[in-house]
Structure 1
């Protein structure tokens, strides 16, 4: 970790997003108490817990491999944290029943992990982490072993449960769409540093660096020439004003869904902002196409074409087109390599 400072509000669903080795799991282990910070403190409700052992932090943890006891059935697995805390049998049984009901597994209480699907095992692990009423729930890639359909279902379930309980969740993932779909805020990590923290819409539309822009979804980062003292820019002869002046030099970030593609004959008669390009590659995605364009200066630009778009019938490698995007859809970053 390198000078990570993070403040998470009660009841927040916070996602730590980063590739393998970025430091997100290390940060989670520090919060859980499995690792000890060499500098700084871990605070819960304003009180330092840096020297408090994991079992006394009132933190529930769900791991990717679930870590269920194979010789215990679902109910016994869920009851284990309560038994370790000395909770009486009658109260223990009531809490286990409520926790299994919360994850819709009441009818599988007697099943052993080997008799449960991956999704059901994940639900048991979640019930076990919640059964003692933790103040904070830590989740480390909990859906990574599930297939896409089941993962989507479990995302909805986790959001439902978190909303019902109002519990604070810190969720570690490398899946960008998962973080975007579930979190109130996202923290992007790389090299042990926290690069940007913001809500999903802000972090997607206004990334703080080239790394964040490339990491969170597809984008095109284009070299441009600043004009009018940073109030606009020029790219391969086309000029566009910016909503507010920018410090020069700068690059622009354009997301594929914000790029419209027009056949050259049609666009030639229109004086609106347009960047001449050539179609280089087309990838069919079911709901539409991802199109790779090459600008005359050799830069690449991605565009998303949806079904029903008039240009869809014109698509073809080598065809000349004009690409357009609105000034408000552009994110501006200091030019790559500039001081």
Structure 2
């Protein structure tokens, strides 16, 4: 196997314990060269610990961390060719933007003329060529974040690690920086490992996402697969909104029954199973609307309606007491006539549901 075909990063059975606490447990993960990979999880899930193990700021209790096929257990952080961007930017307040960006080069003994050339190129990459003489206090949060990014890229690292880098920015700036980060990553072809707790951020930016909880890596897949085919109840609930419904298996898993209504499945499932229904896949119809005999529709009662601007989020209760969420957009049949207590019909197409093994109460 050539060096080019090796993963940029490989975690092989990596575990990290702090006394009796296991922060990362048996993680196996390969990340390809040039991939934008997001580690997604709530606080304490182990995602930042995994990042620190890769950066060299911590060491695994068990397992190996590999970069391009070589173990880096004995390699200090400054020799791993890794750039790191943190949420707080960590800029030197007494240095200008250009001086902050130049600092990694100065520490590596790069000469003045080459240093200036590479600093100018890095500032140009993040669209800050006119702010090189500014101090951090004179710059906005978004500009400081760009300086931190330029500093992490100026020495030409093979891998860029980013730990909640947009967390301190408002929504508009976060959206702008997401686009900028993707542009820069494509332009440089660099491998990016991006830690976040923001699911929409991960979905918008990553080629693949790894979902972490309790130190374990629960599922690794592209955003569409993670969303449409979650591997567990936890993943289904963590990515977007959904309803997880208990159903009765029919015809050896070829279909199911819920609250008196029957529906088929595209592929047979092993019982017992639950179904995952996303609110955007639920259609609401008037209760008295005639339907063909083979059309799936389950009676439901509206319990709550939330206005979202583009439409309404509707909380429903099925006849068997289970809860169901639905999105009703402007122009939909029931838009404007959504009232708590009203009985409607809810339906969804067979291919829109995910099937999961039952895990206690959904």
Q: TM-score, normalised by structure 1?
A: 0.98
**SS across alignment from 1:41:** strand
Which residue in 2 is equivalent to 1:140?
163
- 1: CA distance, partners of 2:68 / 2:114: 27
- 2: CA distance, partners of 1:147 / 1:261: 35
- 2: CA distance, partners of 1:123 / 1:245: 50
Choose the corresponding residue for 1:184, options 207, 215, 236. 207
Contact 1:276 1:296 in 2 (8 A): yes
Cα deviation, residue 269, structure 1: 4.4
Alignment of 1:113-192 (within 5 A): 113-192=136-215
**SS across alignment from 1:61:** strand
Which residue in 1 is equivalent to 2:243?
220
Alignment of 1:167-316 (within 5 A): 167-266=190-289, 268-271=290-293, 272-316=295-339
Q: Could you list the per-position Cα deviations for residues 17-54 of structure 1 after superposition, in whole angstroms to 9, with x for gaps in the alignment?
A: 00000000000000000001111111111011111000
**SS across alignment from 2:304:** strand
Choose the corresponding residue for 2:78, options 44, 47, 55. 55
Contact 1:283 1:290 in 2 (8 A): yes
- 1: CA distance, partners of 2:259 / 2:322: 10
Kindly report the root-mean-square deviation, in angstroms, between the aligned alpha carbons of the 2 structures. 0.8
Q: Could you list the per-position Cα deviations for residues 123-167 of structure 1 after superposition, in whole angstroms to 9, with x for gaps in the alignment?
A: 000000000000000000000000001100000000000010000
Contact 1:294 1:301 in 2 (8 A): yes
Choose the corresponding residue for 2:104, options 81, 85, 104. 81
**SS across alignment from 1:145:** coil
- 2: CA distance, partners of 1:86 / 1:197: 40
- 1: CA distance, partners of 2:215 / 2:272: 28
Alignment of 1:60-75 (within 5 A): 60-75=83-98
Give the structure with the higher percent helix: 1
- 2: CA distance, partners of 1:18 / 1:235: 32
Instruction: Give structure 2 stretches of 5+ with no counterpart.
Output: 1-23
Q: How many residues align?
A: 337
**SS across alignment from 1:246:** coil
**SS across alignment from 2:334:** helix
Give the structure with the higher percent strand: 2
- 2: CA distance, partners of 1:335 / 1:6: 27
- 2: CA distance, partners of 1:6 / 1:140: 18
Instruction: Give structure 1 stretches of 5+ with no counterpart.
Output: none
Contact 1:263 1:314 in 2 (8 A): no
**SS across alignment from 1:143:** coil
- 2: CA distance, partners of 1:269 / 1:69: 67
Cα deviation, residue 107, structure 1: 0.1
Q: Could you list the per-position Cα deviations for residues 68-99 of structure 1 after superposition, in whole angstroms to 9, with x for gaps in the alignment?
A: 00000000000000000000000000000000
**SS across alignment from 1:336:** coil
- 1: CA distance, partners of 2:147 / 2:314: 43
